[in-house]
Structures are given as C-alpha cells and as structure tokens.
A and B are shown apart, each in its own frame.
Chain A
Amino acid sequence: MDDVPMGQLPPHIQLQRTRVFCASDAPTQTENVQYSGAYASMGVDNSFRLEDFVKNFRVEVVRLTEDDMEFDMIGIDAALANAFRRILIAEVPTMAIEKVLFANNTSVIQDEVLAHRLGLIPIKADPRLFEYMSVNDTPNEKNTIVFKLHVKCKRGDPRITVKSDQLEWLPNGSEFQLVTDNSNSNSNSKPKTYTSFSSSQTSLPEFSENSIASKHDDIIIAKLGPGQEIELEAHAVKGVGKTHAKWSPVATAWYRMLPEVVLLEEVEDQKAEELVKKCPVNVFDIEDVGKGKRRAIVAQPRACTLCRECIRGNDWEKLIALRRVKNHFIFTIESSGALPPEVLFTEAVKVLEDKCAEVISDLL
C-alpha cells in the first residue's frame, strides 16, 4: 500500500485493532491482537513494550465510597484486567464462618441451613492479620475468630427475629468445653475447649479498640417462635473465594470497556430529535448549528449500556457506530465489607505479583 506510510497502520486496521465493533447483529473485532509480528508486513511492531505500558498506563478513580468504587484502567490488556477481576472474586482472602458448634437448636431452621446462613455473613475483620488454618492446625488466636450466638424466645413472648448483630465475638476463644475422659488429671489448669487461644485477641492492637463483628447488623439469621432457642458457637477462618463463595471479598467485581459512540453522518433536525428520544440513557443531545438547523451530538458516550436501541431499525446503523475501546476498562468493585474496595484492589495486585514471582522462581 503506497499511500500508507511505513510504520503506521492504515486507519481501518488501526480501528479494528483498538475497538470492538458493536453491530446490531453481533459484536465483531472482540479479540486483542497479541502476536508481535501481526503487522510486520506494514512495518508495525506489535510486540509488548514495558516502557510503553508504563508510559501509557493510567488509573483514574471515578467514584469511591466505603463499599464500592469505580475506576478507569487505561492502557491495559483485557487479559490483565480480567486477571484482576478473577483474583478479586476468587483469590483475595477474607474471614468467614466455617465451623458451627451447636449446643442447642430448637428453631424451625435446620442446623445445616443455619450454619450455611452464618457462613455467608460478611465479617468485618482484616484477613491480613490472620493466618490460614490447615487441616492439622489447632484453632488458635492467629487463625480463628470465635462468635457466640445464644438467643431464646421465652414462652408467651411474640416471635423474634435473630439478626447478625446478636453474634457475639469471643476474643478469648471457645467457651464450649471438650469432653475428655481424664478431665480430673489436671484440674488446676484451664478446662480444654474447642480452641486453644494462648492470649486474648483483644490484646492485639488492631482489635483492642474496634471489635470484630458482622459487617451488617441487620442480616436475618433465623426466626424464633415462643419456646425456641438457639445456642451455638461459630468459628470463622481465613479462606479464598475459590473454595467457597462466602470467602469472596467482593459482592461482585467487573469491568466494561469504554463505550465509544460515533455519528458517521450528520444527524439533523427531525432525525436528531428522534435519535435523542430513542436512547433510554441519554447518550445523545441536540446542538444548534445556527440558521435554525439542529444536529445531534454524542453528549455522554460513557452512559451507553449497549441496548442498541439507536441502531435498531432501517438505516440507523449506517448513521451511528457503537464501539468499545479495547484498552480502556471501567472497573467496578463492590466490596462485601471485610476490606475497603481500594485495598482489595491492591491486595489483588499483590496476589498477582506473588503468582508471577512464583512462576519466575519455578522457571529458574
């Protein structure tokens, strides 16, 4: 191709490389071109360069609240963005109730179901302060958080609802005593319980002031009728979402590619108004060009949900192009409460770092 200078891609190929085309029937050009020599014939080097990445990569935080954040990740590959998403869902650890010891449960809700419900309650405790508990470990203050739940609905009282704020943290570990055969042998020592805490968790500076509890205090655990009682101990341990969704630190984490809406031709007057009306999320707006002429403009492409309403119908697809920018990710993290979302993301990056380090060390 003579008209295209060497070392530069022709515009249509450049567009295909960097954009996803969202036509009305199906999206096309969804894949990233990974091969370094893909454009060698045009004199373009498609290989990944770290310095380029460092130069181009940006993170812009759009919204940050206690539980959720939205930020833009620009100049990154879908594979990497996805890696962070996957790690957030499955590999960033949290604390969750894993073992429930029932002393009494006369409620209508079955033991297993109650235990399952307790497991899904998000616990506000920094998992970085705890260790994983492996099969042979005894539960101690470094790997286990113990909660107690003892609720009773007296006879003659109205029905009560047990909520997550009734879970009581036991910083000294389990209060249930282990039944042992030779209990009289060392009667002077502490009675053996289901955990072996060497010190109270309150002695740790992190927990001395703010105690460990459920993130939300209004999660319904069970309902008790008159005369029913629940007495149990719940042991929370550290784990990852891969094992069970209860350890997932996020409600969900996902990204979407930045929408790009392009008017291929001028859309004027009647048609412009029609277009503005068509879009349910107000992507388009009308601009006066003078002489009583008005034309449609793309006001907020970021709002586009890709409902394809604007390209539905006869010739609209010729006027409007819906695209997605392949290297611009609008990332959303909804934290379930153990850690703030921004910390979760840095944790995810750390997990990825560790994985890379592991691969490197394995290769060496």
Chain B
Amino acid sequence: MVIMKAMGMESDQEVVQMIGRDPRYGALLLPSIQECAEENVYTQQQALEYLETKVKRFSLSCGPLEKEGRALSIIRNVFLANVLVHDLHFRPKCIYVAVILRRMMEAVLNKDAIDDKHFVKELITHGLERAISTGNWDVKRFKMHKKGMTQVVIRLSFIGTVGHMTRISPQFEKSRKVSGPRALQPSQWGMLCPCDTPEGESCGLVKNLALLTHVTTDDEEGPLISLCHSLGVEDLELLSGEELHASNSFLVMFNGLILGKHRKPQHFATALRKLRRAGIIGEFVSVFVNEKQKCIYIACDGGRVCRPLVIADNGISRVKEHHMKELEVGIRTFNDFLRDGLIEYLDVNEQNNALVCQYPFICGVKYKLVPEVYHNVHISPCGFKNMHFGQSSLLLVAQKHLCVCVNILLLFFLMMWHICYTKKICTFSLFTLTQLWFRQKFVEGTKVHIFETTGSKVHIMIALYEGEAVPETTHIEIEPFTILGVCAGLIPFPHHNQSPRNTYQCAMGKQAMGNIAYNQLCRMDSLLYLLVYPQRPLLTTRTIELIGYDKLGAGQNATVAVMSYSGYDIEDAIVMNKSSLDRGFGRCIVTKKLTVVNQKYADGTMDRIIRPQRVGRDAERMQILDDDGLAAPGEIIRPYDIYINKQSPINKEFSVNSPAGLPDSAYKAATQTYKGPQGETAVVDRVALSSDKDTNLCIKFLIRHTRRPELGDKFSSRHGQKGVCGTIIQQEDFPFSERGICPDLIMNPHGFPSRMTIGKMIELLGGKAGVSCGRFHYGSAFGEPSGHADRVEVISETLVKHGFSYSGKDFIYSGITGSPLQAYIFMGPIYYQKLKHMVLDKMHARASGPRVMLTRQPTEGRSRDGGLRLGEMERDCLLAYGASMLLYERLMVSSDPFEVQVCRVCGLLGYYNHKLKASFCSTCKNGDNISTLKLPYACKLLFQVNCDRVVTVTVHIFAFYLLCSITRVIGG
C-alpha cells in the first residue's frame, strides 16, 4: 500500500478499485491500509519519506543522493524494472502492481490459480543462455553475478559438440537438494529432451533442447504494438481502475508488460494467429489466451523456446500429400511450409493453450473426452488386477504394438499408451506419467494421478498422426521422435528401454570415440580421440540421418554373443576376440598437443632453438630432431626423448647492448623432453609454428599414439550398458555358429534382467536382419506406427527368411571342446562405442619414488608418480584385525621413517653430532641421557610445529612404552 502511495496512488479507494472490488480482496488488503494509517502515510510525499527511512537502515551508500530521494529512485529504477517509467509517470507501474497484487490474493484464496513458475524461469534461462560475452556477467543494478555465461565448445566427439550446443544450464546453484526444479515439467513437452540430463548434482537442472526446438530471436516490438491497437486493444491509459478487471474483457500482456484490454479475446487471438500464418508478422510471435487469468499474452521477444507443428483445420492436416511430394522432389523446403501457413511455431505458452493429442488411434475405441477429472490407476507388480479400466484392450495393444513385453515397466508404458488411445487424456497428463516413468520415481503400488485438463478451456489440440485427428484438433505433431534431443536420438528403440538407461547413454555418447569433424586431421586440439575404422550403425534412426551421425560415426558394429564365458565377464565386463582386435576392431588414435613458447624477455634477449648435437652426451635423446632443432613429423617419440632443442639466456634481467649477438656461453639448455607411458611408441604427427598473444614464437607438436583395445578399456553399447574389456581370447577358443560366424565380443546375459534394455535386444535382432537382407533397419523413438522403426515381427520374419531363428538365437559350437553348447545363443550385431576412458591413461603403480618435501611422505596422484594411500578406513581394518606389524610397516617404514634423539630427562628432541659421533640435548646442555627413537617424520614435524606455537611436546620413554604428553607452557 505504501508503495502504491509512493507511486502516486494516494486514494485508498482507487487502489482497491484497481485491484478489484471483490470484498475478499478488500479484506486481505485491510491490514496494509491500516498500517498506512498508523504510520501516517497518506500522500505520495509521506510515503516516500517513510520508505526513505526504511532504505537508509540497510544501505550504507553515501553517494550524492538525488533530490528526489533514494526511495523514489529505487521505485523508479529497480522495482519492476521491466516497466518503463517516463517522466515520473507511474501509472503503468501502478497498474502492473495492482495486477500482481490481484494475482497474489487470488493465489491466497484459490490454490489453483498459482501459475506455473516454470514459464518465467524458462524465459530467464534462455535469455541468459543465449547471451554471449567473455567471462562472467555482472549486472550491478541487481547485484547480479553470473558465471559461465560463455563456455568453450567441447570438441572431444561430434555428439559431444552437438549435445553441448543444445545444452541449457541453469543460473542457480546446484548444491540445493530440491527436487522441484529438477523434475520434468509438463510444459517442456517437445521442447526439452526428457532423457538427456546429467546424473548427480546437476541432474534435471542441466537440460537439452529437443530435436526441433527453436530458440527465438528478438522481433521488432513497435509495429506489433500498433498492430495490436488497430486490432482493437484499448489503451491502458484510457481505462479506470474499475475497468481494469471488468469481467467481460481480457488484459493484453505484451512481452510481459500490460498493453491494454480487449473485449473479444478469442477473436483477437485468431486474428493475430492468422496474420502470423500469412507471414505478415514474425513466425515466432506467440499468442496465448489464458482464460483463468483473463489475459492474452503476446510475445515477440528473444530467448523463448518454440517448436514447429503442423496446423490442422477441423482435424484435417493442412499438409497434403502433394506438399510432401513437392518436398521430396525438392520444390518445397521447410521454410515454404512455414510461409504458406502449413506449419507454425508454438512456444511454451501457446502450446500450453493447446489441446494436444499425441497418439495414434488404433484400439477401435471411439475418441471422446473424459468427463471425470481424476482417474486413479493403481499399479501392482503382478499385473493389472488393480487397474481400473480396459484390461482386455490393453492386451490387444500389447499384441499389436510390442512383441517383447517382458517387464512391468514396459507394461506400464503400454498402459500409458492405452490410456491415451482410449480415454484420450491430453498430452500433459501423459507427460506427467512419462515423467514419473522417466525419472524412475515410479515405485510399485504408487498411485498415479492422471490429470484431465481437456475440459472446456483448452483450445489447441495436437494430433500425432492424421488418422487420429478430431474436429477439435488444431495441430498435428510433425514426428513423435522429435521430443527427444540429439543425444537421445542416437538410441535405437529408446521407447523399449528402461528410461534411466537412455539417460546414461546420453551422457556416454559424448565420451564415445569416433570422428570429430571433417577437418579432424587438420585440427590442433589439445586432446583428440579418434577411431581408426569408425562405422555407421547398422540400426539407425531418423535422428541419426538428420544430424549426420551416419557420416561421422563413433563406434563399430560388433557381432555380440550374449552368453557367459570364462568368468572374466562378470560385472559387465566383456570378452573380446583377439582376431577382431588384430583386424582393427576398437583401434583408436589419441593425439596430444605439446606447446613450447620461444620467450622474448624484457631486456631484448630471447630463447633460441639450435641445431641438435649429433654426437656427445645428448645425441641419443636428440635423435628425432631435425636440423632446425624441432622434432620431425613421422618420428617415433619415446619417453625422455628431447623434442625441442631450446636454449634460453642465463641472464634475463640486465639489458645487453646487442641482444642478438649474445655469445653461446650466455645461454643455458632449456630442452623439452617427452613424458609418456613407458614402452609405448607415440609418433610426432605434426609440428606447427604460430605466435601467441605476446607475439612470441609458439611451437606446437601433435603427438599421436595408436592404441588397440587392451584389458580394462571401456566400451558401451547405445543403451547405457557400459563395460570394460575383461579378457581377450584367441579366436579359436571363441564359439562359432553353424555358418562359421564367430562373435567379436561376448557379453554376459546378466546385463539384461536388471537393466531392462529391450531396445538393445531389438537392435541385435534388427542388425542381424539388416546384414541378412542388406538394408539398414530403423529404430526411431515411437516410430513403429509411422514406419520410422521396424517392427519386431517384421524383423523376425526377415530373420526366418534367411534361415535364422525368429528369436535371433543361434546353435553354437564351443571353440574349446568342439561340441555344441547346451543353449541357443542370442547373437547378432550391436553398435558398440569405445569410450575415452582407457587403462593406459589411468594405470599406475609405484615402488619407491618421489616424496613430498614437507612431510617426507610419498607424493599423491598418478601425475606425480604418487604412492597408493592406506587411508583411515583401511587402517581401521588392519587395526581391528590386529595386524600391528603390517600397520607399522605401512604407516612408518614404507612411508616416512625418521630417527630422532630424545632426552630422557627433559623429553625434548635433541640432535646427533656427526663430527663428534655423539648425541646431544640442547636444552640440558649435555648428551648423557639421550635415546634414539624411530618416528614418522610427520610426527617429528608435529612436535616442532607445536613448539613454534609455544606448545611443548615432550616424549617420556619407559622401558618399552612410548608416551607422549603435551604440556601447555604458555596460554594462547
């Protein structure tokens, strides 16, 4: 109330009118009005003065205050800064505040009226996400400080790069353990990928755009505003407070600001939409009618996410067959569709305005809206006993759509479909379910509420396929697989997988080795992983073709046998065929960049690179150098080889008369030696000369290392099933089939039951059928009805036609005994990715080695050739077991043993005089009562550090016991 008054609304009645005359609102406002009266705030001036006192209390700002006072400036500039104020003309702001207040009170009175906070958040996120600047962002006015506004594009893999481009990072901190913002919002349907999110702390906060999502750019406001006015929007200035909330007209919000009112909202919205479809106003302008709030939202600002949908008139798609033919021939492009009003972009708001119908009409049950608001579906692991509707037709769906339905989650998914087919609950309810399913919050026995939001208030209906459209349908989905993003789009049959598996694959696809880009061999990346023989997946998806993963693949089609073998395949380890590795399976190239700067110094001297010594001490280590002193491309470089013969001047401080004519004696060697894994043969791939920002000569060496898979290298299929290579077996020991096919790798069947990756099984079947009939098979998400995914029945028929079992299981002979195995083995090609985690980069062991100077204990970490720590918990184990000698050896002998001289009288440490060969106590000034003691050096260090802090540590020695007592000498 005070703020309203401060903005010039001095009359209480005016305020109340502006908010609305409902007596309930008045009651809620009363305390505030009373408070104003108590504080003697009646006029604008009084209100400002009152606020002034409040401001100063927490503001130490002593800058030259403007005449109008700080309160006014805050109200003008900071408070609701998006509403512009011209010449202290506060009326727009007053109206805005009034609307906000009304909404707040409505929310108090009626819980349903609470907006979805998400929309606002989304706007801000995208607005910031799109902003490109160097470094961090500081907006002083709001005391905002943002980090990570710009990121360096990940170039480790093609998918990593594309995935990174579609990433949305939130601005608030990840540490909070709230689930709200992490959950999948219904409004994200089709805009954000439901699968692609990292695991761990940023789970659900970092999101990725779906395939067809478009982020809008700013459109000009002026013409649009005047267009709105000419379409009948009544200006805000002309309305009284009373009229503001008149029930027969709708408030028009333009880019978040109040533009005015309109008496015929639907008419107005339709008009605007028609203009948009005709291409007269921008395609990203969104019009959203909110009946509950009696508002029309128009937006043309940048940073909103939107996606294209096919427009339908009375349930009939505007895209006709001849359009598609023209598209195929190439006469038409996507933009033509957009311009001709066949397709339009809907943003989150407008989509929310939509009645979306997503799933094909197959069950023969008539499409109709359900009158009830809630349905309770009770799921129990034993089946559908407690399900409230449609069991028989569910089974029908099961038979028609999925042959392989083996687990409750799949059945659950089927049930969701079923609900959507038969009862036609709209998208958002479906999505709530999907969300539950995707995030695996779904536990047996959970009650699932299916919200029916298709009442009278929803206007746009999106049909997935033309066949299912009804007169109410306004839009038809372009393709259902486009709800997934780029990374999830690589997964074949993702709709048959347990959802977290798809999420895992989204993270893992980015680590897969393969091709980076077409110019990958011309790049100088600091680290690059390439596959020698990358392949295109036998089982592709439409997304793969759209993004070009089939041209820049990151994996190989391996023939996989699902069986146990040798015991080296437990815990997801895979057994690999040595001959396959010999022939190039999983072979990769790792290149690393080494940079050397030829420094210029302040006094004019500079480093120099000189001709290598061909004879003498360093000649052997300089073998790979060319005459110019740099390593030659194509040379094999081994650890401790010198790759640049650089010298730098000894004296860099003092100015020399002729810097160029420095004698040889004024230089000292500054050669660089290569440190790589022992016994590996890396090769100098390329040498590039450039200059850095201080115009120093900068020499870059690309070191290449070709690796074949070895024990412990990490592999993964496209279904979140990662595993390390457990053992490598000779081909003759490998099992072989009736046709002489020998698998490339063997995977343990225990990987399947708990992971429930049915998609992988179908991939195997499809791949096998693909190699038999010579056609790439498809596995796009939700693609079976539209032909973007091959059905299992059809795949099985193909298999049978080529003499395989319909189930994909082959009769296998053991390679060791020669007799057949007592089981049919599920065998076929699966696309396998080699992940960048390789043992060679990680393995580490040491005997004795470097120590830390301070504590004389072994160093830590692989990069420092560190020791392996016996930590506290390990210590506890040994302690509990009573292995005292082992403990002594680990913690003392092998760590930092040290011998000290202790005075038995004073208990302080003495020293050993090597000249006199006698021990001496410097406190007692004699060497009579000295004992030699073994201590960890760290312990001795502790004693001495304590002495520094004026805490004396004395050691008292009894016959066999050692007792430390700490005496505090002086306080503090």
A residues contacting B by CB (< 8 A) are 20, 22, 26-28, 30-32, 78-79, 81-83, 85-86, 89-90, 102, 105, 108, 110-113, 116, 120, 241-242, 244-246, 248, 252-257, 280-281, 305-309, 312, 324, 326, 332, 334
Contacts and interface: CB of A to CB of B under 8 A. Distances in A.
Q: Main secondary structure on chain A at its contact with chain B?
A: mixed
B804 interface: yes
Contact of B731 (A82, A90, A111): A90
Contact of A306 (B685, B730, B738, B822): B738
Interface stretch (B242-250, B554-562, B583-591, B864-872): B583-591
18 contacts: A20-B820, A27-B823, A30-B820, A30-B822, A78-B818, A81-B818, A90-B732, A108-B521, A110-B589, A110-B704, A110-B706, A116-B587, A120-B583, A280-B800, A307-B803, A307-B805, A309-B800, A324-B820
B806 A312 contact: yes
A112 B683 contact: yes
Contacts of A244: 582
A305 B583 CA distance: 28
Contacts of B740: 252-254, 332, 334
Nearest to B706: A112
Interface in B496-532: 521, 532
B824 A27 contact: yes
A79 B803 CA distance: 27
B749 to A, nearest CB: 14
B516 to A, nearest CB: 14
Contact of A246 (B582, B589, B813): B582
Contact of A113 (B706, B822, B824): B706
| Shortest 9 CB-CB contacts between residues of A and residues of B | A82-B818, A245-B582, A254-B740, A305-B803, A245-B579, A78-B818, A86-B732, A112-B706, A30-B820
A83 B811 CA distance: 20
> Quick one: which of A85, A113, A305 has the most chain B CB within 10 A?
A305
A96 B817 CA distance: 29
Contact of B532 (A22, A83, A113, A241): A113
Contacts of B532: 113, 116
Contacts of B810: 306
B738 A305 contact: yes
Interface residues of B, number: 43
A248 B732 CA distance: 11
Interface in B296-348: none
Contacts of A253: 740
A102 B589 CA distance: 19
A28 B818 contact: no
Contacts of B765: none
Interface string B384-398: 000000000000000
B625 to A, nearest CB: 15
B823 A26 contact: yes
A229 B816 CA distance: 46
Contacts of A105: 634
B802 A280 contact: yes
A301 to B, nearest CB: 14
A79 B814 CA distance: 10
Contacts of A22: 811
B800 A307 contact: yes
Nearest to A79: B818
Contacts of B284: none
Given A110-B683, A110-B706, A307-B800, A30 B819 contact: yes
Contact of B811 (A27, A79, A108): A27
Contacts of B731: 89-90, 241, 245, 248
Nearest to B811: A306
Interface in B32-85: none
B890 interface: no
Interface string B350-377: 0000000000000000000000000000
A232 to B, nearest CB: 11
B811 A82 contact: no
Given A26-B823, A110-B685, A110-B706, A308 B805 contact: yes
B578 interface: yes
A240 B704 CA distance: 29
Contacts of B521: 108
A307 B742 CA distance: 18
B934 interface: no
Contact of A90 (B584, B730, B803): B730
B732 A85 contact: yes
Interface in B838-870: none
B943 interface: no
Interface of B: 521, 532, 578-579, 582-584, 587, 589, 634, 683, 685, 704, 706, 730-732, 736, 738-740, 742, 799-806, 810-811, 813, 815-824
Contacts of B806: 307, 309, 312
A280 B803 contact: yes
Given A90-B730, A248-B579, A312-B806, A111 B820 contact: no
Contacts of B732: 85-86, 89-90
B817 A28 contact: no
Given A257-B820, A280-B801, 17 more contacts: A22-B811, A26-B822, A26-B823, A27-B822, A32-B819, A90-B730, A102-B634, A110-B589, A110-B685, A111-B683, A112-B683, A120-B583, A244-B582, A245-B582, A248-B731, A252-B740, A254-B736
A309 B799 CA distance: 11
Nearest to A324: B820
Contacts of B589: 110, 113
A22 B820 CA distance: 10
Contacts of A113: 532, 587, 589, 706
Contacts of B742: 252
A281 B803 contact: yes
A32 B820 CA distance: 10
A139 B820 CA distance: 45
A221 to B, nearest CB: 14
Contact of B738 (A31, A248, A252, A256): A256
A330 to B, nearest CB: 9
A314 to B, nearest CB: 15
Nearest to B580: A245
B815 A86 contact: yes
A102 B635 CA distance: 10
B129 to A, nearest CB: 38
A28 B822 contact: yes
Contact of A245 (B578, B736, B821, B824): B578
Contacts of B822: 26-28, 30
Contacts of A281: 803
Nearest to A112: B706
Contacts of B738: 256, 305-306
Contacts of A78: 817-819
Contacts of B816: 82
Nearest to B532: A113
A233 to B, nearest CB: 15
A326 B818 CA distance: 11
A305 B804 contact: yes
Contacts of B799: 307
A82 B815 contact: yes
Contacts of A307: 799-800, 803-806
Nearest to A86: B732
A111 B706 CA distance: 10
B168 to A, nearest CB: 37
Contacts of B582: 244-246
A303 B332 CA distance: 52
Contact of A31 (B578, B579, B587, B819): B819
Given A82-B817, A85-B732, A280-B801, A245 B583 contact: yes
A242 to B, nearest CB: 7
A27 B825 CA distance: 11
B802 A242 contact: no
A136 to B, nearest CB: 21
> Quick one: which of A86, A111, A307, A326 has the most chain B CB within 10 A?
A307
B935 to A, nearest CB: 52
